Amino acid sequence: MDMDVPTITDRVNLREELAAVGIEEILTQLDRELIGLKPVKTRIREIASLLLIERIRKRMGLTSEAPTLHMSFTGNPGTGKTTVALRIADILHRLGYVRRGQVVSVTRDELVGQYIGHTAPKTKEILKKAMGGVLFIDEAYYLYRPDNERDYGQEAIEILLQVMESQRDDLVVILAGYGDRMDKFFASNPGFRSRIAHHIDFPDYSDDELIDIAELMLREMNYTFTPEARTEFVRYIALRKNQPLFSNARSIRNALDRLRLRQANRLIADLDHVLTVDDIRSIEAADVLASRVFGKGGKSAEAN
């Protein structure tokens, strides 16, 4: 028998293997946490399946090099990129691809210094903190500013690229940001694109998904829409989406915070009223309609 070809005698029960590492539990948690995003969830499940099989292949002696795990998440704000990064870290940790299931989330400011000799220590300190887990760089394209000759972002990029290659067995980097800007960033920095194994696009939420997100958030806070309030909030979503600075689920959460504020002030206005549990829990149509989004010439800021 050719001794260079491994003899496979192991048998693996995939159901038992999945249960042992708890991947299905994480994917179920992701389904609960995020409404919609079917393409994203499908891709995460595919990556988890690949890594599970790679883990089994390594145990059987069929592979020797760890797969490249660096990723790019593209999409508008509030589409769940940070939440997915947290679940990815859990999956990688349970499968043994990273030592710790942590995510260190940073932007340009944590990596790039303001003067000569400042950037390298800052970047290396962040990398040291993230080592053994996942480094999530939001709005990664701001690292590269070719129009500013005195910018030190390129130094941070060079350090990141070196570590992404030399220590890819101990650190996973996820770059995130708007899709069009990330495309330009990769075109200007091909070293990053060559090191990214998985590109995942996060679509905007539909109106139906946004109302589902709102109701899920309210349930988690022990609130609920009255039927009339729900109808008006559907109208609110349609109007708010057409205004600037809309950030998907993030804007919905901010809107709910303001609804709770209005509800509390409405309730406290009548000190002689004896409140019931339903009174305390219910968001009414008046709480929604008080938003300036419904007014003529209303501003579009998140405070509306």
Segment 203-221, tens digit of pLDDT: 999 999 999 999 999 999 9
Q: What tokens does 284 get?
A: 């009414």
Strand 198-202 and strand 103-106: pairing? Answer: unpaired
Predicted confidence at residue 273, as pLDDT, reads 86
Helices and strands (H and E) in the chain: how many: 14, 7
Tens digit of each residue's pLDDT (9 = 90 or more) over 209-266: 999 999 999 999 999 999 999 999 999 999 999 998 999 999 999 999 999 999 999 9
Predicted confidence at residue 296, as pLDDT, reads 57
Whether the CA torsion 16, 85, 124, 199 is positive or negative: it is: positive
Q: Which CATH number fits domain 67-202: 3.90.550.10, 3.40.50.720, 2.60.120.1030, 3.40.50.300?
A: 3.40.50.300
Q: What span, in angstroms and rounded, lies between the C-alpha atoms of 251 and 302?
A: 7
Domain 207-294: CATH class, spelled out: mainly alpha
Give the CA distances from residue 118 to residues 80, 108, 197, 261, in Å, rounded to whole numbers and listed in that order.
Answer: 32, 13, 30, 44
Q: What tokens does 86 get?
A: 């947290």
Taking the CA of residue 284 as centre, how many other CA atoms within 13 Å lie in the half-sphere pointing to its CB? 10
Closest alpha carbon to 285 in 210, 235, 217, 251:
235
Predicted confidence at residue 45, as pLDDT, reads 93
Contact 10, 59 (CB under 8 A): yes
Output Rg (C-alpha) for the chain, integer angstroms.
24
Tens digit of pLDDT at every position of the chain (304 positions): 444 444 444 687 888 888 888 898 999 999 988 999 999 999 999 999 999 998 888 888 887 677 889 999 999 999 999 999 999 999 999 999 999 989 999 999 999 988 888 899 999 999 999 999 999 999 999 998 877 767 788 899 999 999 999 998 899 999 999 999 999 999 988 889 889 999 999 999 999 999 999 999 999 999 999 999 999 999 999 999 999 899 999 999 999 999 999 999 999 998 888 999 999 999 999 999 999 999 854 344 444 5
93-131 burial by CB neighbour count: b if 16+ within 10 A, else e?
A: bbbebbeebbbbbbbbeebbbeeeeebeebbeebbeebb
Residues listed for the chain: 304
Give the CA distances from residue 302 to residues 228, 243, 258, in Å, rounded to whole numbers and listed in that order.
Answer: 23, 10, 10
Predicted confidence at residue 15, as pLDDT, reads 83
Predicted confidence at residue 149, as pLDDT, reads 67
- Residue intervals of the chain classified under CATH 1.10.8.60 are 207-294
- Contacts of residue 63, Cβ cutoff 8 Å, sequence gap at least 6: 54, 57
Phi, psi of 116 (to 5 degrees): -60, 130
Contact 267, 280 (CB under 8 A): yes
- Residue intervals of the chain classified under CATH 3.40.50.300 are 67-202
Closest alpha carbon to 23 in 2, 3, 53, 61:
53
Predicted confidence at residue 301, as pLDDT, reads 43
By CB atoms closer than 10 A (0-12, 13-18, 19+), residue 199 is middle
